[in-house]
Amino acid sequence: MNDIISHVIFFALAILAVSSAVLVVTGRNLFHAAMFLGLYLLSIAGYYFLLKADLVGMMQVFVYVGGVVVVLLFGIMLTAQLTNVRLTSALEQRWVTIVSLVSLVGLLVFVAKDTVFKVSQLSPVEDTTSFIGKMFMTDYILPFEVISVLLLAALIGAVIIAREEGGK
Amino acid sequence: MIPLSYYLILSGVLFAIGMAGVLLRRNAVAVLLSVEIMLNSANLNLVAFSRYIAPEQASGQMFALFVMAIGAAEVAVGLALILMIYRNLQSVNLDQFNIFKW
Amino acid sequence: MNYLSLIVLLPVLSFILLIVFGKKLGDKSAYLSILAVGTAFALSVKALLDAMGGAHADLSFTWLTIGNLKLTFGLLLDPLAAMMLVVVTFVSLLVQLFSVGYMHGDKRYGWFYACLSMFTASMLLLVFSSNFVQMYMAWEGVGLFSYLLIGFWFEKRSASDAAKKAFMVTRVGDLGFGIGLIILFITAGTLDMGQVFAMKFAPETASLIAILFFCGAIGKSAQFPLHVWLPDAMEGPTPVSALIHAATMVAAGVYLVARAYPLFEQGPAAMEFVAIIGTITAFMAATIALTATDIKKILAYSTVSQLGYMMMGLGVGAFAAGTFHLMNHAFFKALLFLGAGSVIHAVHSQEIFDMGGLSRKMKITSLTFVIGGLALAGIPPFSGFWSKDEILLGAFESGHTAIFAIGLLTALFTAFYTFRLIFVVFFGKPRGHHADHVHESPAVMAVPLMLLAALALTSGLLGSPFMGNAYQSFILGGHGEAEHHINYMVMGLSIGVAVLGIFGAWLKYSTSLLPSNVMSKNNIIYQLLVNKYYIDEIYEFTLVKPTHAIARYVLTFDQRVIDGAVNGVAWVISRIGGGLKYLQTGYAQNYVLVMVISVVVLIIWSFRAIQLF
């Protein structure tokens, strides 16, 4: 892929991601915020394709955009707080938050721009789906099984927590 | 090729935006949305490292998938908790929810 | 010779069973205990017969080795031990029988028998000991169960006080015994009796060890100046008084002296000490008994006095006479105590001037009591006479004329107070509230009285010079001289003072021949005696009061300074916690913010560490 094109794509996606993330965080309407979150997730998926992580990108679209955002929309509608008059928390911590986050980003930038990474010249995995599938069943079998148990536990736990009291 | 540091700085900025949402938003569901932003910025980091440092192993992609699974589970449990709080307090405002205090 | 260990183990077994099942068994627990001690008695008789046949068992096994100290656990059977075995098991058996009637309906019936069983076991172990450590352990066991039994009715304040007093006073003596054991081990290197007695000690060393041992005996056998606990110990049930504080446990001190006699013989000073303490005790206790009015207290002081006699006998070298008196005394004093128990059971009072004329209503009790009284007073042919006479003879012949004279005087007092008791309680006019419904005790109480009376009548004859001094040759085991010629002068004096004492008591308490101002209560001597020589008061002022004062200061220090420091630390920490708790706002977003700030600080700090800044 051409270097200039990839740069253009990167910055376009960056503008999309940052602006949608800011809109999620600042949006008055929670429903719109959830929609912008979908946009944000899609832009991240774009990065995944740019990084040649096809399967992860697909999963991002399926699981996040198709699943998590929908679930969050359910949550928003169930709690019926669509027209939120007051946006921010009543806790007086805005300036501390801003200062600490700015310094955090500053530190990260400071580190990232000066560090020399040993960039590998090898070509990335072409057929990611079958490669990752094999990895799941071989080297990563234990985390894979653990995560499946975790998902089951979370499923049951969520059902039990959210159930109406009195078994109705 | 795009320098790796671009990805790192981008994911740092996105992480900070998500963190600001967690710290400042009043609505619990909005906080949950912000947490998703943070998770994805970290994921972006993982995949970028995987691509640049060890592209032939794709281990960062594996971890990104695991983080997605955990993120899905987190959303499910988190929403269940929020529904529970809403049912009891008729509100999901985090500045009204301080039963853990002294 | 396995049956020897059974003698000790049977009562232990009974104790364990009663502890576990006592509540369930209830009234039946007595039978278990009686069966155990009865079997032990039968085996003891067999042991006695074996000992007569010359068997001299010493079975032991090592149970602890510390460096070059080997502690053995063993059973020693010799004539002295065999005699004591029979006395202990027999008296214990009769007392337990008697208690079936006396303790009937008590709510801690099973516990009572458990204690009696274990007391008997401890006493038997003490008697059987083949080394001093084992003896010391059994000694303490005896002390413990004595404590439990004195305080058996611990709901009564005076009973629990008496139990504490007994335990602590005897502990003073036990301390001496313990130190004696240590010194003996340092000098002899062993605590095995056989080895110790085969050694030669310097007279000073032997005297020191023997006197320290005797300190233990002073405590346990209630000798002057530690006799104060025994009269108070009468707060326990009367059968307990009979078993422990008359017949067996208080004899443990005498037994210790007799057991360690080879050691005492090597230290002339110790022998003199024993004789003098014994004489003082005998005289003093007899005089106190003259004025006491509580039937059990009179008998208690009489016990102290008779124990003094035994010590006197041992001290002047009349070994056989001392142990002989021990045996006889066990029988007739158990008889007197059980008789007193029978009387108390009927009259519900212990004050002798609440009683009177009981002989008409309690024929068996009064008859047996009079037999016991005659034995105590020393009238031939009752048992007390023969042994007391032997002791006096021993004192006379060894040249202790002063001791002999005081002994005679004490015999006079003994006869007087014994028959004062008998005349007031059993003869004369009925007195007190319960005089009308006085009744004879049930058979289970009467039978032990009769058995003991028979023994009080006859046991003395075993050692009578007219019967060939059978006891003496047995106890000395063939070695040592047993041929006492009969000294009619001493014997005559002894009988004379006894008769005089009885006559005096008759004159004063059974007739109105004497004008009432004879022996009036308003003189110094009477006051001195009725207050028991003020010994309790002396202890109160010299020991108890200062200890209390010190204890109060220590208590104040503890409460103010030590507790203050502890509470102060706790107070400071609770204040700090009270302040810090406001950091816990309960808002999740506050907590997350703190996390973020911490992460930033940590990153900066780690950058400083690798000198990035």
Q: In the 3-class helix/strand/coil scheme, how is C579-600 assigned residue by residue?
A: HHHHHCCCCHHHHHHHHHHHHH
- Reported confidence tier of residue C92, pLDDT bands at 50, 70, 90: confident
The verdict on residue A85 lying in a domain is: yes
Q: Which of A46-60, A154-168, C247-261 has the lowest mean pLDDT?
A: A154-168
A68 and A10, same structural domain? yes
Pairwise CB contact (< 8 Å): B23 & C582: no
pLDDT score of C129 more than 90: no
Domain boundary, last residue among A43, A71, A89:
A89
- Give the residue from A34, A102, A39, A43 showing the smallest Cα distance to A71: A34
φ, ψ dihedrals at C86, nearest 5°: -65, -45
The verdict on residue A76 lying in a domain is: yes
Question: Which residues on chain B are in Cβ contact (under 8 Å) with C589?
Answer: 22-24, 31, 94-95
Pairwise CB contact (< 8 Å): C581 & B100: no
Which residue among C582, C584, C589 places its CB closest to the CB of B23?
Answer: C589
Which chains would you list as touching A if contact means 3+ CB atom pairs under 8 Å? B, C
Q: What tens digit of pLDDT does each residue of C275-326 get?
A: 888 898 888 888 888 888 888 888 888 888 888 888 888 888 888 888 888 8
Pairwise CB contact (< 8 Å): B66 & A147: yes
The verdict on residue A60 lying in a domain is: yes
Report whether B2 contacts A10 (CB < 8 A).
yes
A69 and A12, same structural domain? yes
A69 and A135, same structural domain? no
Q: What is the DSSP string of C443-462?
A: HHHHHHHHHHHHHHHHGGGG
Predicted local confidence at residue C485, as pLDDT: 62
Report whether C303 contacts C245 (CB < 8 A).
yes
A85 and A17, same structural domain? yes
Q: Tell me the CA distances in angstroms from C490 to B61, C100, C410, one per residue in order.
A: 120, 43, 14
- Compute the mean pLDDT over every residue in chain C, rounded to the nearest whole number: 81
CA distance linking residue B10 with residue A15, whole number of Å: 10
Pairwise CB contact (< 8 Å): A72 & B24: no
The verdict on residue B99 lying in a domain is: no
pLDDT score of A59 more than 50: yes
Question: Which residues on chain B are in Cβ contact (under 8 Å) with C596?
Answer: 19, 23
φ, ψ dihedrals at C191, nearest 5°: -120, 10
Predicted local confidence at residue B11, as pLDDT: 93
pLDDT score of C607 more than 80: yes
Pairwise CB contact (< 8 Å): A68 & B75: yes
The verdict on residue A120 lying in a domain is: no
Query: Is the CB of C596 inside 8 Å of chain A's CB atoms?
Result: yes
CA distance linking residue C37 with residue C42, whole number of Å: 9
- Reported confidence tier of residue B38, pLDDT bands at 50, 70, 90: very high
> Does residue C356 sit in helix, strand or coil?
coil
pLDDT score of C155 more than 90: no
The verdict on residue B17 lying in a domain is: yes
Q: Which of B36-50, C378-392, C425-439, C566-580 has the lowest mean pLDDT?
A: C425-439
Q: What tens digit of pLDDT does each residue of C217-255 get?
A: 888 888 888 888 888 888 888 888 888 777 778 888 888
Q: Which residues contact C289 (CB under 8 A, 6 or more apart)?
A: C297, C298, C301, C302, C305, C413, C414, C417
Domains held by chain A: number: 2
Domain limits for position B15 = 4-90
Predicted local confidence at residue C354, as pLDDT: 74
Predicted local confidence at residue C483, as pLDDT: 53
Q: What tens digit of pLDDT does each residue of A62-109 get?
A: 888 888 888 888 888 887 655 555 666 767 788 888 999 999 999 888
CA distance linking residue C473 with residue C608, whole number of Å: 101
Report whether C97 contacts C46 (CB < 8 A).
no
Whether residue B55 has a cis bond before it, omega within 30° of 0: no
Please name the residue of chain A whose CA is at the shortest distance from the CA of residue C595. Answer: A100
CATH of the domain at A66: 1.20.120.1200
CA distance linking residue A55 with residue A134, whole number of Å: 13
* Dihedral sign computed on CA atoms, order C267, C269, C271, C274: negative
CATH of the domain at B70: 1.10.287.3510
Domains held by chain B: number: 1
Mean pLDDT of C365-379: 85
Q: What is the per-residue burial (b if ≥16 Cβ within 10 Å, else e) of B58-96?
A: bbbbbbbbbbbbebbbbbbbbbbbbbebbeeeeebbbbe
Highest mean pLDDT among A85-94, B65-74, C106-115: B65-74
The verdict on residue B51 lying in a domain is: yes
Q: What is the DSSP string of chain A?
A: --HHHHHHHHHHHHHHHHHHHHHHHH-SBHHHHHHHHHHHHHHHHHHHHHTT-HHHHHHIIIIIIIIIHHHHHHHHHHHT--B-S--B-SSS-HHHHHHHHHHHHHHHHHHHHH-------SPPPS-HHHHHHHHHHTTTHHHHHHHHHHHHHHHHHHHHHHSPTT--
Domain boundary, last residue among A89, A107, A135:
A89
Token pair belonging to C335: 């008889």
Q: Tell me the CA distances in angstroms from C531 to C289, C349, C405, C415, C537, one per residue in order.
A: 11, 21, 25, 21, 9
Highest mean pLDDT among C106-110, C350-354, C491-495, C574-578: C574-578
The verdict on residue A114 lying in a domain is: no
Residue for token pair 């949608």: A20
Domain limits for position A11 = 1-89
A85 and A3, same structural domain? yes
Q: Tell me the CA distances in angstroms from C283 to C48, C172, C232, C337, C382, one per residue in order.
A: 34, 23, 19, 21, 22
Question: Which residues on chain B are in Cβ contact (under 8 Å) with C592?
Answer: 22-23
Question: Which residues on chain B are in Cβ contact (under 8 Å) with C581?
Answer: 102
Which residue among C587, C597, C607 places its CB closest to the CB of A100?
Answer: C597
Pairwise CB contact (< 8 Å): C596 & B95: no
Report whether C371 contacts C335 (CB < 8 A).
yes
Report whether C60 contacts C75 (CB < 8 A).
yes
Q: What tens digit of pLDDT does each residue of C507-545 get?
A: 777 776 665 555 556 677 777 777 777 777 788 788 888
pLDDT score of A168 more than 50: no
pLDDT score of A20 more than 90: yes
CA distance linking residue A110 with residue A96, whole number of Å: 21
pLDDT score of A33 more than 60: yes
The verdict on residue A49 lying in a domain is: yes
CA distance linking residue B85 with residue B92, whole number of Å: 7
CA distance linking residue A117 with residue B50, whole number of Å: 12
- Reported confidence tier of residue C392, pLDDT bands at 50, 70, 90: confident
CA distance linking residue A65 with residue A43, whole number of Å: 11
CA distance linking residue C528 with residue C540, whole number of Å: 16
Predicted local confidence at residue C613, as pLDDT: 62
Which residue among B24, B98, B102 places its CB closest to the CB of C587?
Answer: B98
The verdict on residue A65 lying in a domain is: yes
Q: What tens digit of pLDDT does each residue of C462-475 get?
A: 777 666 666 777 77
A16 and A61, same structural domain? yes
Mean pLDDT of A135-157: 92
Question: Which residues on chain C are in Cβ contact (under 8 Å) with A93?
Answer: 589-590, 593
Token pair belonging to C362: 């309690």
Q: Which pTM was predicted?
A: 0.65
* Dihedral sign computed on CA atoms, order C512, C513, C519, C522: positive
CA distance linking residue C5 with residue C202, whole number of Å: 36
Token pair belonging to C49: 């017969």
Name which residue leads in pLDDT, C429 or C144.
Answer: C144
Predicted local confidence at residue A112, as pLDDT: 85
* A window 18-47, beta carbon within 8 A of C: none
Q: pLDDT above 90 covers what percent of chain C?
A: 3
Predicted local confidence at residue C435, as pLDDT: 59
Q: Which residues contact C445 (CB under 8 A, 6 or more apart)?
A: C98, C100, C101, C102, C338, C341, C342, C345
Pairwise CB contact (< 8 Å): C593 & A96: yes
The verdict on residue A104 lying in a domain is: no
Token pair belonging to C309: 């006699």
Pairwise CB contact (< 8 Å): B51 & A68: no
Predicted local confidence at residue B41, as pLDDT: 94
Predicted local confidence at residue C570, as pLDDT: 92
- Give the residue from C46, C164, C26 showing the smallest Cα distance to C103: C26
Predicted local confidence at residue B39, as pLDDT: 93
Highest mean pLDDT among A45-49, C86-90, C496-500, C588-592: A45-49
> Does residue C399 sit in helix, strand or coil?
coil
A74 and A15, same structural domain? yes
